[in-house]
Amino acid sequence: MGMQLMTEEVEKISRRVGLRMNAGKCKILVSNNWEDSKVITAEGTNAEVVEDFCYLGSYLSRTGNCDKECMERRQVYSRD
């Protein structure tokens, strides 16, 4: 099942219970081995492809590199 098909399925099921995706907040983090270059849409809007993002306070990157996470933690602890 492709990413676009899964996104459409989530939209369909969500609508049944009165929910909808906020397309402006949808992000796609592409790992190094993902080969599908197709644009993914949610609610008719193209989802943004990002190199990294913060999820639940931790930074995730497409390469698995944790440099940004380490820098953020150093800054937080150096403030104390």
Q: Are 47 and 27 in contact (CB under 8 A)?
A: yes
28-38 pLDDT, tens per residue?
Answer: 887 776 666 67
39-64 pLDDT, tens per residue?
Answer: 888 888 888 888 888 888 788 888 77
**Bridge partners, 49 (sequence order):** 28
The pTM of the whole model exceeds 0.75: no
